Amino acid sequence: MNMDTGKNPDSSGDSLAEILKRDFGDGLLHEQRTLTGMPVFWVTRDALTDVLGYLKGLTAPFDLLYDLSAIDERLRSDRQGLPAADFTVFYQLLSISRNADIMLKVALSADDLSLPTAVEVFPAANWYEREVWDMFGITFAGHPHLTRILMPATWSGHPLRKDYPARATEFDPYTLTVEGQDTEQEAMRFDPEAWGMQRERQGVEFMFLNLGPNHPSAHGAFRLVLQLDGEEIVDCVPDIGYHHRGAEKMAERQSWHSFIPYTDRIDYTGGVMNNLPYVLAAEKLAGIEVPERVKVIRVMMAEMFRITSHLLFLGTYLQDLGAMTPVFYTFSDRQRGYEVIEGITGFRMHPAWYRIGGVMQDLPQGWEKLVQGFLDWMPSRLREYERAMMENAIVRDRTRHVAAFSTAEALEWGVTGPNLRATGCNFDLRKQRPYSGYEQFDFDVPLGHNGDVFDRGQLRIEEMRQSLRIIQQCVNHMPAGDYKADHPLTTPPPRERMLEHIETLITHFLQVSWGPVLKPQESLQMVEATKGINSYYLTSDGNTMSYRTRIRTPSFPHLQQIPSVMRGGFVPDLIAHLGSIDFVMADVDR
Amino acid sequence: MSWWTPELAAILWAMFQALVILLGAVLLGAVLTVVERRLLGLWQDRHGPNRVGPFGTLQLIADMIKIFFKEDWIPPFADRPLFVLAPIIAFASLLLSFVIIPITPGWGVADMHIGLLFFLAMAGINVYAVLLGGWASGNKYALLGAMRASAQTLSYEVFMGLSLMGVVALAGSFNLRDIVAAQEGLWFVIPQFFGFATFLIAGVAVTHRHPFDQPEAEQELADGYHVEYSGMKFGMFFIGEYVGMLLVSALIVTLFFGGWHGPWLPPILWFALKTGCFLLLFILLRASLPRPRYDRVMSFGWKVCLPLTLINLLATGAVMLLVDA
């Protein structure tokens, strides 16, 4: 990884560390060595916003607040000389110009769980801080609206704390009385004053419209409260959390291996693309280097899912523009993709097919023919979608210069992936920070110009073409070799090694029943997922289970950005925008 | 048999015709709902409803059973009388317009001198269905839909009437039989092509068919003005839309494509064939086009269609004066 700035004295990261030490000597407590591939600094609470502002103000700025969350450190046994903390809040910043990351951590003690807000420096911190408050009960002084975001307003307790139960058997059975239902309903009622909204302007009363949580164009259980003047959107408030299933909490009670199927369901249109960052991060902890064949198989299947996900996007995007036919065509193409996926993995949407140290099984006989059939079918179809729809005058009228935002605005709000590239920003992790052997593939990164609804649609069609190119190279050059790494922590371990003698049998038994034990460290892997940058930040405490799994998903900040894009727009433009940002609610709420 | 007079026979015959045409229009409207779904299936690379009866032919009966037995729910927050009235207007106003359509030389309900004006009046009344339905529902989506519908229908009715004035001028009559008779030699679609084009657009808009279905845009307003309706009340809006389609198709045929005129085949077949072609066009439009934005639809109506109809009317008048002179 070219992010290993901590070890390379020539890279800008190291000089940055020196500069930080010089300028914030007292505020900088500790530099932590991790497997995250980026410098990790512990800073004091007082210095936090200064350091954040400083990093954002550099000539090559850390301009994107990539992630912000917390860790409950109270039960962590192996803390490797880290500063004393009951809770840690971490801020991961990303610099496009440096192509480097930096992580800041702040230690908090349980009797004073408060931090200054970072909203003034990074607007995108708003939702992340609300999530930290919701999940950990840490307050952010000066936050404009510190309320629950994923859990219902009526919830008590902070679920990601270690003392919060994780199993249903630890709770009383759930009951809901009629009064309780009324209370819940009432808690859902939108209160404009709480959001600082006017109810009227110059004697004209605004209409407050609940778009969702059950609306055909909300793409799942998602609510957007619109403040309307006629059909003009004066302001809007996205409301998420209806799809929250506590994936991060579940990761803390599943073995490293048995959590893989849960990742499939984060971005549920992305299939094995979700497994990739998780197994790559786990392999860093385990120290596994996988064979070339595994890398290429993983790339091929991930790109297959990029195509099926983009086909779903294209159909619904055009349907949101009122064209009812394309979705049926893209779905039948998607079905062809799933036939290939099913032939190889045995499953369609959620194969959970990647393993720590490899993939579940080798490619079946005749897989080349199956994949080649799909590769031959798609290009003419993509051309047809462009001719019939993207060149259509009404589509162009509905999408050109609608809901447009610039690169700077995108970075301000943490937008990544195709939505960022539609603004002309050339940042694709497969090129910038190749993982799983992407550096060996020949493909282009399509870019947009205007960052509008049209560019976001057209760019994804182009991305499908590039994915087809990558898959073609996989078919042509699939390396021979094993589908699992020859490593003691490969899970599940190869069966051939089991029956040698009693010791191997016991090892095998333990590794299948308990799963592997990964060394106490922290690792992180980002991938260019279907909707943007997705990463898993794993903290191991030397156990069979993860101590903390932070899942950073692209759709979360994309939804947070909606109000800043849509103020002053019309309802149909909002629908077009919602269709163009390509989100699924499971990817937002986790 | 002294009571059996020719007058009585004529009255009974007229009543019989009216009944046949009324039932025919309603039934065709209902059948169209299934035909549309089958055709959409064909064009969308899928099957459509093909399970009930051979080739799905009994789907209509299944739908009717369902819609008749569905709970007829009136929301407690709705304005009851208006809520009930709206679907009746929607259904009746367009259905009543069928009285002016001359189907064949011998068939037709009424032979009115003000034929075309009657249609325009009924189309005007039809706005109230959407407006009242949207208002009485007490639902914000319905209200937005009603708002869009009234603005849109008003704008499109302005030039819908004007687009037909060229035809009236050429035929010298508002009576549809006279207009059909006047097309014996040349269908009006040729001298009145712009009139035809604008009337077709206005017709699609007045029936709220795609791509002018902004009032009920599913993706935006979740079905707009009839979102609160269920059971038979929804059915009346629903069938009313198809009856409207049928009416506009029949009117286009009557006004611009020579009505029942045509060689070899009997008049009724010609009329049915031509009308069927326009019904196909309506469905094909829905299958192929995205939906323009609501304000673009308005500006298209006012800035393109209205001037076009005015110029068309002026040109028609000028040519007629020249020819007369």
Residues 6+ apart with CB under 8 A from A344: A301, A363, A364, A367, A370, A371
Please report whether residue A214 resides in a domain. Answer: no
First to last CA, chain B: 58
The residue out of A66, A91, A125 marking a domain boundary is A125
Query: What pLDDT digit, counting tens, does each position of B134-185 carry?
Result: 888 888 888 888 888 888 888 888 888 888 888 888 888 888 888 887 777 7
Among all residues of chain B, which has the CA nearest to that of A316? Answer: B219
Note whether residue A262 is domain-resident: yes
Question: What is the rounded CA–CA span in Å between residue B118 and residue B125?
Answer: 11
Spell out where A4-63 has E strands.
28-32, 40-43
Tokens of A526: 């980002």
pTM for the model stands at 0.88
* Domain enclosing residue A92, as ranges: 12-125
Return the SS3 of A566: helix
- Determine, yes or no, domain membership for A120: yes
pLDDT bucket at A14, cuts 50 / 70 / 90: low
Q: Do A71 and A34 form a contact (C-beta atoms < 8 A)?
A: no
A442 within some domain: yes
- Model pLDDT for residues B212-245, shown as the tens digit of each residue: 877 676 677 777 778 888 888 888 888 888 888 8
Residue of A nearest to B148 (CA): A231
Residue carrying structure tokens 């009313």: B240
Average pLDDT value for residue range A147-170: 89
Residue A551 in this model has a pLDDT that exceeds 70: yes
Determine which of B286, B289, B294 to mutate to test the interface with A (most A C-beta atoms within 10 Å).
B289
Cα gap A330→A382, rounded to integer Å:
9
**Residues from chain B contacting residue A570 (CB–CB below 8 Å):** 293-295
Nearest residue on chain A to B215, judged by CA atoms? A572
Chain B residues lying within 8 Å of A320, measured CB to CB: 219
Identify the weakest region by mean pLDDT among A122-126, A551-555, A586-590, B48-52. Answer: B48-52
Of A101, A125, A149, the residue that ends a domain is A125
Work out the pLDDT band at B110, boundaries 50, 70, 90: confident
With beta carbons less than 8 A apart as the criterion, state whether B190 and B264 touch.
no
Interface confidence (ipTM) of the complex: 0.84
Which residues in chain B have Cβ-Cβ distances shorter than 8 Å to A389?
Answer: 290
Distance, in Å, from the CA atom of A487 to the CA atom of A516, rounded to the nearest integer, reads 11
What confidence score (pLDDT) does residue A11 get? 44
Chain A residue nearest residue B291, CA to CA: A322
Instruction: Pick the range with the lowest mean pLDDT from A251-255, A456-460, A471-475, B75-79.
Output: B75-79
Domain boundaries, chain B: 72-324
Is residue A82 assigned to a domain?
yes
Q: Check residue A367 and give its pLDDT.
A: 92
Angstrom distance (rounded) from CA A102 to CA A15: 13
Q: Two tokens at A136?
A: 């950990």
Give the per-residue pLDDT at B156.
84
Q: What is the CATH number of the domain that holds A335?
A: 1.10.645.10
> Structurally, how many domains does chain A consist of?
2
Residue A162 near residue A156, CB atoms below 8 Å: no
Question: Of A108, A125, A142, which residue constitutes the final position of a domain?
Answer: A125
Q: pLDDT tens digit string along A399-444?
A: 988 888 999 999 999 999 999 999 999 999 999 899 998 999 999 9
What pLDDT does A376 receive?
Answer: 93
Predicted local distance difference test score (pLDDT) of residue A4:
41
Q: Is A46 on the interface with B (CB under 8 A)?
A: no
Given a contact cutoff of 8 angstroms between Cβ atoms, the answer to whether B249 and B240 are in contact is no
Kindly state whether residue A220 falls inside one of the protein's structural domains: no
In the prediction, which pLDDT does B234 show?
87
Q: What is the pLDDT of residue A10?
A: 39
The answer to whether the Cβ–Cβ distance between A207 and B140 falls below 8 Å is yes
pLDDT band at B209 (very low <50, low <70, confident <90, very high): confident
Residue B1 confidence (pLDDT):
59
Q: Which residues in chain B have their CB less than 8 angstroms from residue A207's CB?
A: 140, 143
Report percent pLDDT > 90 for chain A: 43
Cα angle, residue A585 at apex, residues A276 and A343 outer, rounded to 5°: 45
Looking at residue A169, its pLDDT comes to 85
In a domain, A492, yes or no: yes
B108 vs B122: CA distance, rounded Å:
18
Beta-carbon separation of A322 and B291 below 8 A? yes
d(CA A264, CA A210): 30
Residues of chain A found within 8 Å of residue B219, distances taken between Cβ atoms: 216-217, 319-322, 575
Mutate which: A328, A389, A454, A574, vs B, most B CBs within 10 A: A328
Q: How many Å apart are CA A301 and CA A294, to the nearest integer?
A: 11
In a domain, A56, yes or no: yes
pLDDT, residue A457, reads: 92
